[in-house]
Structure 1
Amino acid sequence: MYKKLSLFVACTILVVISACNQHTHQQTDDGNMALGNPSNAQYNRLSPDNYLIDHKYYIESYNNSKAEPNWVSWHIAAKDLGSTDRLNDFRPDTNLPPGWYEADNTAYRRSGFDKGHNCPSGDRTSSPDANSATFLMDNIIPQAPKNNEHVWEHLGSYCRNKVKTGNEVYVIMGNYGSGGNGRNGYKTTIADGRINVPAHIWKVVVIIPDGDDDLQRMDESTQVIAIDTPNDNDVSNNWMDYLCSIKTIENATGYQLLTSLPPAVRTSLENKTFKGGN
């Protein structure tokens, strides 16, 4: 009897520990990570630099050592675009595990870098809750102002326009390396060394017509866009100047993208480079 009781207690403790290791948000079935988990991130506080967080409106791999996401993944459909104004309520994610650094709105002050969204505010205007979620600081990176306000804003607007004309869009955005040139020159970190300044910022976009069974509808002809930009205040305003293949991003980051797709489709898409057009 005592052995059975001890086993029951041990199992209960393991369940509690597992629950405590997980972020309070749980995955939702809204397609935000439908294309796969690029770094095999886990809901486990024992994996602090590849920690999977579901913010309901986007999913990310968070890096506690760098105090920023490794990558963020989300889906944009017509239902995500509404009339909610930009809330600008930048704030710490208080659901991070105890003892982890929580960046706040003051961390970027006088740094020379913008608080650059991964999942943009403009992609989540269906409700105040959706828009507010994008202002959690673990969706933010130190981004050179011209990079953020021109290159990334223009590509974000392009994606939203595709949605408004009868498409849906899957996006994965991330960064790698350390060291960027902001308004005040070159830095590798900000906030007294707590937050990494990425050297490169990348994005992968998959565009398909509105419909159901999205993964089954993706094939070798599906439109994909991949860009990789230096985190530099002297970048071009034109995001098409930074086009590359998905394979190039995989080689730079070590991530595996589009893993939910059949191997032949994935291989075809990861080797394409967008040429422009509709």
Structure 2
Amino acid sequence: MVVLGAIALAGCLGLAGCGVVADLADLADLRLMTSPHLMLGNPSDAATRLELPNNYLLIKPQFALSYSRDRGTANWVSWQLNPDWLGEVDRQNNFRPDPDLPADWPVITSQDYRGRRYDRGHLAPSGDRTASIEDNSATFVMSNIIPQSPDNNRGPWSDLESASRQLVSQGRELYILAGPIGQQGRIGSAQVVVPQSVWKIIVVMEEPGLEAGEISEATRVIAVNLPNVSGIGNRPWQDFITTVDELEELTGFDFLSTVDDDVEAVIERRADGG
């Protein structure tokens, strides 16, 4: 039914007489149904609607996210990673406000991070989008950035990012989600929330092109929750292994909702230490 709806909506968008359908919400619904970055679901039922300022859905070619206006960061970011996304493009470093957010919302800029003791930490990493300048540049919008402890960002968080790309080099395809938890203050004139910890979930598919229905009890699912503090720069990411069930308790989100319920129950309670 979802596929048929997407086909019907796509066909209508191609007809001059269907302009009434082609508003912001309908376009977002179409992207929701077709985005590879949401193959495993929409954890918070985010939508591109102004009445949901703290669960506002943005679906980009490079990743999808739920944004919180009041926090000034994403609630979660979700993305696919396979060899098609990787290349030789250099890091663009062009941090900038996200132009896809409503114009009358607080604008988050690099200035909000300047002089603070936090990195401009990526949720969807720059290193996961190196196939083109456009793809890499997309990761530098501030909706994909959180205030992150340097020891976290440049230590175990970075190491896990590298480990993910190593899995891809071995022929795997990954579906990844990441986001912040909690609050330990705010920074900048926009009052961006500094999270207490940052989490990540990595679903490891044996090869590119598999669908959610092909996930089994044997599928690897790596989940971590890293404290957003100093002093952890030399610790391995495996020290922070948790379960998807635990992250659901902490966030209130429903992860992996498109996976078979019986399979989901098994893989969400299992801790995978890499």
Separation of aligned partners in 1, 2:195 and 2:25: 30
Of 204, 207, 212 in structure 2, the residue corresponding to residue 210 of structure 1 is 207
Change beyond 3 A, Cα 1:21–1:28: closer
What secondary structure sits across from 1:73 in the alignment? strand
Structure 1 counterpart of 2:109: 104
Secondary structure of 2:213's aligned partner: helix
Match status 1:226 vs 2:226: no
AA of the residue aligned to 1:189 = R
- Give the aligned residue type for 1:206: V
Identical-pair percentage? 35
User: Structure 2: which 5+ runs fail to align?
Assistant: 1-17
User: Whose helix proportion is higher, 1 or 2?
Assistant: 2
- Which sections of structure 1, spanning at least 5 residues, go unmatched? 1-11, 180-187
Q: Secondary structure at the match of 1:32?
A: helix
> Which whole-Å deviations, capped at 9, do the CAs of 1:114-137 have from their partners, x for residues lacking one?
000000000000000000000001
Residue correspondences, number: 255
Residues 127-171 of structure 1, C-alpha deviations (whole Å, 9 max, x = no match): 000000000010000000010001111000000000011111110
Of 119, 141, 148, which residue of structure 1 is paired with 2:146? 141
SS of equivalent to 1:106: helix
Provide the TM-score with structure 1 as the length reference. 0.87
Rounded to whole Å, the distance in 2 between the matches of 1:127 and 1:19 is 27
**Contact in 2 for aligned 1:21/1:97 (Cα 8 Å):** no
Alpha-carbon shift at residue 21 of structure 1 (Å): 9.8
Q: TM-score, normalised by structure 2?
A: 0.88
1:60 aligns with 2:65: yes
Structure 1: distance between partners of 2:200 and 2:154: 15
Q: What corresponds to 2:39 in structure 1?
A: 34
- Which residue of 1 is the match for residue 265 of structure 2? 267
1:13 to 1:33, Cα distance in 2 relative to 1, 3 A: closer
Root-mean-square deviation (Å):
2.1
SS class of match (1:173):
strand
What is the identity, as a one-letter code, of the residue corresponding to 1:237?
R
Higher alpha-carbon Rg: 1
Greater than 2 Å deviation, 4+ residue runs: 12-16, 18-23, 25-30, 211-214
